[in-house]
Amino acid sequence: MDASGLLLRIILFILIIAIAITNAHTQSFQCLSFSSTCIKHLKLEGSASASGSAIHLTEENNLFPSKSFGSAGRVTYAERINLRDKTSNEPRDFITKFSFVVSSNQSIYGDETWWINITHRKVCNCSIVYNSRNSVLNVSYTGYKLSDGKVRKTTQHLSYSVDIRQKLPDSVVVGISAATGKYSEQHTLLSWSFSITPPSTDDKEKERKPVMITLKGIGIGAVLFLRGFGGVYKGYFKDSNTYAAIKRISADSKQGVKQYTAEVTIISQLRHRNLVKLTGWCHKKNDFLLIYEYMENGSLDSKLFRGESILPWEVRYNIALGLASALLYLQEEWEKCVLHRDIKSSNIMLDSNFNPKLGDFGLARLVDHDKGSETTDVESDIFSFGVVLLEIATGRKAIHHKHMEGEVSVVEWVWKLYELRNLLAAADENLRGEFDVQQMECLLVVGLWCANPDSASRPAIRQVINVLNSESSLPILPLQMPVQGCS
């Protein structure tokens, strides 16, 4: 049994079949700790028991460990949850988060490849998010493992396409369970929250289709950044009291108008959680405007190179995974292959939770999946993606300026360290060693793999995702950077 399988066996988010309920309002609860107020809304079963501000799901008898073998307990929310909206019968989004500790005083614990030292008693966190619009279940787990004699934080992600309407009844009970086998350990739940919301009743919003708007009612304020054939501004809609990012393109430039047309015709058809959402467009006389959802945390490059605070490693790795997911959608999963042709950190936006959103499709093209002549452009996007991965890991720009050496390519610099077998020296110094060593090595190697000057040696994006998710082993690259071919 591998580590992820054992994790799912130990801490399992369960949906238990229940009878139908009549209410369809937004249902949520939040227990930052398990006070008496929270406990009265929960049901404890089996070995589960409340203790102070926590819930012990399993028992641990230190005097007689054998009495703790086969302990099993669960906690469920007392109110049944409707997975569908009563009015529209559409599935609803939900999110649950919980923190826990798995601890033991015994010298023997775990099974086969289980690599977490549970004697350290560190707090682990898990979040499960279901997006009904895309029918995608995302799981994120942050725990700890032993690496080089040190206990280091590690994050794992799982993304799974599933229509819950085909797997579950309309009404369920939500809960968390844990169990022990031959050995004894204690599973303690520290916090738990759950929220489910009705689907959008606005068909246009549900389909994420942009609409044509007029200039009336838009207030354009601060300049977010200027580049290319125009600028991006922070806009305000008086009627809805909402903000948006407004890209203004000069009508004096034929290339600018061409990019405007490409953005409207291409990105308006795309549906993915890691792509910037185009919500509207407008052209009148010399004004060409594209209206996007407002990204509170700006662009990736602003956080990596100009931010006052440092992006934590867990956030960086999640950004890499999200961007890879977007590329998989563009290159393989949509009805046509979308060639972005301008992937860079300044075109990757970050929402309020630092989830990445790839934007700026002004240079994009659509081609059929079976067009072999277009593989060069696909490989070029893979190259650019690899450079972004190296920027995320190193905190250096694609072209780094050094006082004595002039311009230095981040690809050349990292590959030289790979040749010297000192790859981890490329890690961003601002992280101060606070990163998962295996993930850092993985991101650097995958970055070089994608940015290989020999375009024929670059991987497909699906291969990249398998490696980033630890489903495939790291590729073995040549120690010296290849020189043949170019992006």
Exposed/middle/buried for 390, CB within 10 Å: 0-12, 13-18, 19+? buried
Look at residue 478 and tell me if it is in a domain.
no
Q: Which segments within 33-107 are labelled E, that is strand? A: 42-46, 49-51, 54-56, 72-77, 81-82, 93-103
Residue 223: partners with Cβ closer than 8 Å, 6 or more residues away: 231, 232, 233, 234
Chosen domain end from 247, 266, 293: 293
Check whether 374 has a pLDDT greater than 90: no
Look at residue 166 and tell me if it is in a domain.
yes
Q: Output the pTM of the full model.
A: 0.58
The answer to whether the CB of 382 falls within 8 A of the CB of 448 is no
Residues 7 and 146 grouped into a single domain: yes
Residues 274 and 393 grouped into a single domain: no
What is the arithmetic mean of pLDDT over 140-147?
Answer: 77
The predicted pLDDT at position 5 comes to 40
**CATH (domain of 432):** 1.10.510.10
Measured over the CA atoms of residue 464, residue 468, residue 471 and residue 472, the dihedral's sign is positive
User: Considering its fold, how many domains does the chain have in total?
Assistant: 3
Look at residue 479 and tell me if it is in a domain.
no
Strands 278-284 and 211-212: parallel
Residues 172 and 316 grouped into a single domain: no
Selection from 6-15, 60-69, 142-151, 366-375 with the highest mean pLDDT: 142-151
Look at residue 473 and tell me if it is in a domain.
no
Strands ordered across the beta sheet of 218-227: 211-212, 278-284, 287-293, 242-250, 230-237, 218-227
Chosen domain end from 293, 320, 341: 293
Residues 109 and 245 grouped into a single domain: no
What gap in Å lies between CA 21 and CA 55, rounded to an integer? 27
Picking from 351, 420, 431, the residue whose alpha carbon sits closest to that of residue 396 is 431
User: 178 to each of 13, 67, 100, 187, how far by Cα in Å?
Assistant: 9, 16, 11, 7
The answer to whether the CB of 435 falls within 8 A of the CB of 409 is no
Structure confidence by residue, pLDDT tens digits, 24-62: 345 788 888 888 888 989 999 999 999 888 999 988 665
What is the arithmetic mean of pLDDT over 144-156?
Answer: 73
What gap in Å lies between CA 48 and CA 130, rounded to an integer? 27
Residues 175 and 305 grouped into a single domain: no
Look at residue 486 and tell me if it is in a domain.
no
**CATH (domain of 99):** 2.60.120.200
* Active-site residue, selected from the candidate residues 342, 381, 428, 436: 342
Chain mean pLDDT for the chain = 80
Residues 283 and 388 grouped into a single domain: no
Which region among 22-36, 80-94, 250-264, 400-414 has the lowest average model confidence (pLDDT)? 22-36
Residues 318 and 343 grouped into a single domain: yes
- Full domain range(s) for residue 249: 208-293
Residues 261 and 174 grouped into a single domain: no
The answer to whether the CB of 124 falls within 8 A of the CB of 99 is yes
Look at residue 487 and tell me if it is in a domain.
no
351 is known as an active-site residue: no
Residues 285 and 392 grouped into a single domain: no
H/E stretch holding 134 reads none
Chosen domain end from 264, 293, 322: 293
What gap in Å lies between CA 262 and CA 90, rounded to an integer? 33
Residues 170 and 57 grouped into a single domain: yes
Structure confidence by residue, pLDDT tens digits, 339-372: 999 999 999 999 988 999 999 888 898 888 766 4
Residues 267 and 372 grouped into a single domain: no
The answer to whether the CB of 259 falls within 8 A of the CB of 365 is no
Look at residue 483 and tell me if it is in a domain.
no
User: 241 to each of 57, 69, 207, how far by Cα in Å?
Assistant: 45, 58, 22
Residues 188 and 218 grouped into a single domain: no
The answer to whether the CB of 101 falls within 8 A of the CB of 123 is yes
Look at residue 484 and tell me if it is in a domain.
no
What gap in Å lies between CA 223 and CA 53, rounded to an integer? 48
Structure confidence by residue, pLDDT tens digits, 198-249: 654 444 344 445 554 544 444 444 444 445 445 788 887 777 777 888 888 8
